[in-house]
Amino acid sequence: MSNTKNAVYPGSYDPITNGHIDIIERGLRIFDHITVAVLTNPDKQSLFTLDERLEMIHQCFNKNPRIEVDAFEGLLVDYVDRKGIHTVVRGLRAISDFEVEFQMALMNRRINREVETIFLVPSVCYSFLSSRLVKEIYRLGGSIQQMVPDVVDQRLKEKFHSRHNHRQK
């Protein structure tokens, strides 16, 4: 039996932020290998396509052999079962995250008792950061330093710049 400690870090990653990266780096101190699992959710409108989200994450980790970038659809518990990795990592930024995360962790365990969720706390400088706020700021013409990787900053500017240009035509 392998002694490798593996975990899955699931999320929407629309887009990945420095907060996610911080959690992954912390996770790598505990786990040997982390699978960053991007949710394909046909019902949820995302800014970036699945391919764009995967590509940005790949670029952030530059082929680090301890990180796998993957996509999943359907239930998280089914995905982790298929992977044979029953440890899920989630970030807890603030008390406001707690209720939703607690509910999700217990529900996942209710469906599959093998699944354990480990919560990691990000650096305080990312405790207010979310993909949703990042998108809003760029959509309204702002940008923020040191909150998203350079590749994401660039993609957000391109995305909203091209939208503005389309609207003006």
CA distance 17 to 39: 16
Rounded-to-integer distance, Cα 143 and Cα 120, Å: 27
- Between CA 62 and CA 17 the distance in angstroms is 16
Q: Using CA atoms, how far apart are residues 70 and 37, in angstroms rounded to an integer? A: 5
93 labelled catalytic: yes
Based on the residue annotation, tell me whether 167 is a catalytic residue of this protein. Answer: no
By beta-carbon proximity to ligand PNS, the closer residue of 132 and 161 is 132
Nearer to ligand PNS, 93 or 155 (CB): 93
Would you say the C-alpha torsion 11, 133, 104, 74 has a positive or negative sign?
A: negative
**Residues comprising the chain, all counted:** 169
110 included as an active-site residue: no
Please, what is the minimum distance in Å from the beta carbon of residue 6 to ligand PNS? 17
Least distance between ligand PNS and beta carbon 59 (Å): 19
CB of 150 to ligand PNS, least distance (A): 21
Residue nearest to ligand PNS (CB): 11
Catalytic residue among 29, 44, 63, 169: 44
Closest contact distance (angstroms) between CB of 107 and ligand PNS is 4
Straight-line distance from the first to the last Cα atom of the chain, in angstroms, rounded to the nearest whole number: 61
Angle at 17 between CA 51 and CA 67, to 5 degrees: 65
> Residue numbers of the site for ligand PNS (CB under 6 A)?
10-12, 39, 75-76, 104, 107-108
Kindly tell me which of 106 and 161 has the beta carbon lying closer to ligand PNS: 106
For the annotated catalytic residues, the residue numbers are: 20, 44, 93, 131
